[in-house]
Structure 1
Amino acid sequence: MIKIYAPASIGNIGVGFDILGAAIKPINGDLLGDCITIKLSEEFQLFNKGIFSNQLPVNNEQNIVWKCWSKFCNVIKKNIPVSIILEKNLPIGSGLGSSACSVVATLVAINEACNNPLNSKDLLLLMGEVEGEISGSIHYDNVAPSYFGGLQLILEDTDIISQKIPNFKNWLWIVAWPGIKLSTAEARKILPKKYTRDICVKNSRCLASFIHASYTEQSNLAARSMKEFIAEPYRSKLLPNFFKNKEKIKKLGAISCGISGSGPTIFAISEDIEIAKKISLWLERNYLQNNTGFVYICYIDAKGVRKIG
């Protein structure tokens, strides 16, 4: 029996729409992500558990885990019967890479149970394919960090899909999920099909500045470069009082604040634990919409997917 954990992730990191993503881990030691327990069996079996298992489809063939297993068997051209337990610890449609967590953990677990017939690149391509079917387009800014860990830059290269870039170890990432669902596919539909040259140049300049600052250890420049021109102006309408909340969070001392993935989770960054705690408390009191919502102070998770237990 094998148990695999895949961490939550922040897609886009504001400045890098479909280009940047970071795996995260709460500083309190909680596992913020999904777990897959797998063993070989006489037939395919799937059991769901975990805090958010009630959000999963009743029909197994609509479950991401089944889709991963089916595609994996097609790729290796062999039907491998397995028994799988999905521990769903991330809410669906949260903007924290919930589907990516399930996809990454499942494919890594199945691959290991079958003595690793697929290499890491083949697995990542398969992860992107499954994730793309769920969200409406193939993008790796959640699956890549959840798989490899760290802060990942998605490349336009046929041989190398993604590479880890430096991150600031003293940055504390505060993530707040308000307790409501937002479909990634719907959040992508709200975006315009075309952008002006000015917007493209501005976004490219900020992204380049962020990458440069990351490699040259300029924390302040990196934070100032985290401006968003592609998605935030449009997706902000789907989030409760986004700009008002962003202004308040920055007044509390955050060096940056933005939408995590397609939302409704938002993230803030601080270099001071006391400021991070203040922001966390304010978000708990003012951003959460119900009792299922949560706030975590996190570091970047350098490990990514891993065997536990």
Structure 2
Amino acid sequence: MKSYFAPASTGNFSVGFDLLGAAFEPVDGSLFGDELRIHGEQPELSLSLTGPYVHQLPKDTGDNLVLKCFYAFEKAIGQTLPRLQLELVKNLPVGSGLGSSACSIVVACYAFNDYFGKPLDDYQLLQLMAQLEGGVSGSVHYDNVAPSFYGGLLLMLPDSPLLCRALPWFEHWQVVLCYPGTVLSTKEARAVLPQQLTLKHSIAFAGMLSRFISALYAKDETEAFAALQDLVAEPARQHLMPELLPIREKLTAQGIGHVGISGAGPTIFAVCQNDTQAQFAADYLQQHYAKNSDAMTTVCRLARQGARAL
């Protein structure tokens, strides 16, 4: 058996709608993402589902993303491949804002490429991942698949052959992620977004993103926190997450640097500067935002590694 893993991710990172993405892992070093196991070859392609969030997936595996990835990978390399016995360990909740679909896509495409001798280079593989993710979210974007594939905090580079570039990070930052246990589909969350921005709004968005990236390179933490403002998605999505503003007010009053929406939501993330802040944020979010047994709150650091064999 061969096992593969890809980490959870946060798209947008507030200030960079569709242009920033970050991969995260728990500070205790445990795995936080989806795992794909290849048990061997057999006459027919098959997929079994396990893991804590398997109940959120359709019981009929015929429409599962992992199988779609296999057929898309096969088409991309132009070969008929041996059929596999697969097992997806679903550790991320669906429709959570943690890059769940991207994570499954990344781990599957990475696994197939590795298992079959790496016929696709990283550029080709990332493009395939983004196309598959676009079929789920309604548009092709890289801010979840790229960090889940490469790890780190990444800036997407539209129309560039590089596709994305790694950015600096404040190593002492801890990011608390709280998934409330409810589902908010990416398509639904994207449907409420404005289709056009005014010139003034566009300049403000570009300026704030530039300000944040500049602060990262200058190692200016105060400026980085000041620039972490979502001028595109959050204003349109606030009614879908009415708890966000009072939670932000409470946490920032404790000195926590930023509170925002992870991806399309409903997960909320809080950027903390030390253990005390992170523990306070985790306790508060678990008490005031978690809604059911599917909820989870995790204290994370930036995941420097992306998809990999275990």
| TM class, shorter-length | over 0.9
Of 180, 184, 188, 2:190 maps to 188
Tell me how far apart the structure 2 counterparts of residues 230 and 114 of structure 1 sit (CA, whole Å).
Answer: 41
The amino acid of 1:75's aligned partner reads: A
Deviations 1:22-62 (A, max 9, x none): 00001122211000011333220101000011111222231
> What is the aligned length?
308
Deviates more, 1:233-242 or 1:223-232: 233-242
Q: Is the 8 A contact 1:40 1:113 kept in 2?
A: no
The amino acid of 1:114's aligned partner reads: F
Tell me how far apart the structure 1 counterparts of residues 198 and 68 of structure 2 sit (CA, whole Å).
Answer: 38
Runs (4+) off by over 6 Å: none
Match of 2:17 in 1: 17
Aligned pairs (5 A) from 1:1-309: 1-38=1-38, 39-80=40-81, 81-308=83-310
Tell me how far apart the structure 2 counterparts of residues 112 and 278 of structure 1 sit (CA, whole Å).
Answer: 41
Tell me how far apart the structure 2 counterparts of residues 174 and 131 of structure 1 sit (CA, whole Å).
Answer: 25
RMSD, matched Cα:
1.0
The amino acid of 1:49's aligned partner reads: T
Deviations 1:220-244 (A, max 9, x none): 1111100111000011211142111
Tell me how far apart the structure 2 counterparts of residues 99 and 186 of structure 1 sit (CA, whole Å).
Answer: 15
When normalised by structure 2's length, the TM-score is 0.97
Q: Secondary structure at the match of 2:216?
A: helix
Deviations 1:152-197 (A, max 9, x none): 1100234111111111111110110000000001100000111111
Q: Structure 1 regions of 5+ residues with no counterpart?
A: none
Deviations 1:274-303 (A, max 9, x none): 111011101111011112201111000001
The amino acid of 1:64's aligned partner reads: L
Q: Is the 8 A contact 2:48 2:61 kept in 1?
A: no
Q: Structure 2 regions of 5+ residues with no counterpart?
A: none
When normalised by structure 1's length, the TM-score is 0.98
Deviates more, 1:215-224 or 1:171-180: 215-224
The amino acid of 1:249's aligned partner reads: L
Tell me how far apart the structure 1 counterparts of residues 187 and 194 of structure 2 sit (CA, whole Å).
Answer: 14
Distance change in 2, residues 1:170/1:58 (3 Å): same
Q: Secondary structure at the match of 2:181?
A: coil
Q: CA deviation at 1:94?
A: 0.2
